């Protein structure tokens, strides 16, 4: 072995020993830090939670030593949660996961005496609307406490579905409600693809695997498949409204052709209990519950989500991005309890 080779072996051995020592020290330090964090979260960790907006932060100020009525805001399109945000941000945000956790916390809070649903929504996805409806019904079953619904500017389709969990339903005189029904939206862009020289190619296991694709016209069989989904969700919707309003399914179906109603029409048709201003409704709730304290979680998003959201809004969208957003919003192929606002 040459002198050069000997030096090389010595250097390699020294590096091996140093790396091993560093590894042991790192693991020991990491384990110590982890245990410390598990037992007592650091101030820095709490600060980062506030920055990122953990769900518990939004509900941290819920009363625990005095009776209160909980305001549950249902604002914007009812849909799957996306990103970190408050329960109801300016512009109509909707955070499904946080609302579900909110109702769970209310179930366990002995000082809560009732829930008020404040609804301003065109509706939304069947799955999320039904999941929150079932959670609200669980609240009533486990606690025996009442739920009241107040419809604001718009309470349509999925909003009506959620309002059906309430013992009493009221609306502002200018409320738009109704639109009891189900829709699955999609786009047939096959002709546009032809003009652009685009041809969609899918390798499928069976003929209906790519049904609903925007690049191919839908067959009669595929339309029938989707119609069956819509019909089943519609029957579920009608049944829930019928039970909530003490009406027959047949009578509800006469009203449930997708049309919208004014507040006075909704009263005449038995869909709501009455018309009140917001102040009149609040006074009524205080009277019937005997509780004067209302609790509504903060509408504020986290610091980081607001910062990134503002930065995102500054960037203008291209025509292609706008088209993709439109398809994602209305052409997802997902059953929706949704009222499409006129002109949208």
Active site residue 42: no
- What are the CA-CA distances from residue 167 to residues 108, 137, 178, 299 (Å)? 20, 11, 18, 26
Pairing of strands 68-75, 112-121: parallel
Catalytic residue among 41, 199, 207, 209: 209
Active site residue 209: yes
Q: Is 195 exposed, middle or buried (0-12, 13-18, 19+ CB in 10 A)?
A: exposed
DSSP for 89-106?
Answer: -TTT---HHHHHHHHHHH
Q: Is 313 exposed, middle or buried (0-12, 13-18, 19+ CB in 10 A)?
A: exposed
3-state secondary structure of 125: strand
Nearest to 327 by CA among 208, 235, 192, 236: 192
Catalytic residue among 157, 179, 302, 305: 157
Contact (Cβ atoms closer than 8 angstroms) between residue 161 and residue 122: no
Write out the catalytic residue numbers. 157, 209
């Amino acid at each position: 072995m040459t002198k050069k080779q000997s030096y090389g072996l010595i250097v390699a051995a020294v590096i091996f020993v140093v790396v091993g020592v560093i590894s042991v020290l790192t693991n020991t330090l990491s384990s110590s830090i982890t245990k410390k964090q598990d037992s007592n979260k650091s101030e820095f960790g709490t600060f980062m939670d506030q920055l990122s907006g953990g769900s518990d932060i939004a509900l941290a100020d819920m009363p625990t030593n005095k009776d209160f009525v909980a305001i549950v805001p249902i604002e914007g399109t009812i849909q799957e949660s996306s990103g970190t945000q408050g329960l109801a941000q300016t512009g109509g945000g909707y955070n499904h996961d946080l609302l579900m956790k909110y109702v769970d916390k209310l179930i366990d809070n002995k000082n809560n005496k009732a829930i008020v649903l404040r609804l301003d929504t065109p509706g939304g996805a069947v799955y999320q609307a039904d999941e929150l409806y079932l959670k609200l019904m669980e609240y009533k079953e486990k606690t025996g406490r009442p739920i009241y619904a107040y419809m604001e500017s718009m309470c349509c389709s999925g909003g009506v579905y959620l309002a059906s969990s309430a013992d009493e339903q009221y609306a502002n005189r200018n409320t738009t409600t109704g639109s009891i029904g189900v829709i699955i939206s999609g786009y047939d862009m096959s002709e546009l693809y032809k003009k652009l020289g685009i041809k969609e190619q899918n390798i499928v296991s069976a003929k209906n695997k790519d049904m609903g694709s925007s690049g191919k016209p839908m067959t009669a069989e595929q339309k029938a498949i989707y119609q069956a989904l819509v019909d089943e969700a519609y029957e579920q919707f009608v049944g829930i409204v019928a039970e909530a309003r003490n009406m027959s399914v047949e009578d509800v179906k006469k009203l449930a052709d997708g049309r919208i109603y004014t507040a006075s029409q909704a009263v005449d048709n038995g869909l709501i209990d009455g018309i009140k201003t917001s102040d009149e409704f609040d006074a009524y709730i205080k009277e019937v519950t005997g509780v004067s304290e209302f609790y509504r979680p903060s509408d504020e998003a986290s610091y980081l989500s607001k910062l990134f959201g503002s930065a995102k809004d500054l960037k203008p969208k291209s025509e292609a991005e706008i088209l993709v957003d439109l398809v994602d919003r209305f052409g997802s192929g997902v059953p929706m309890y949704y009222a499409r606002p006129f002109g949208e």
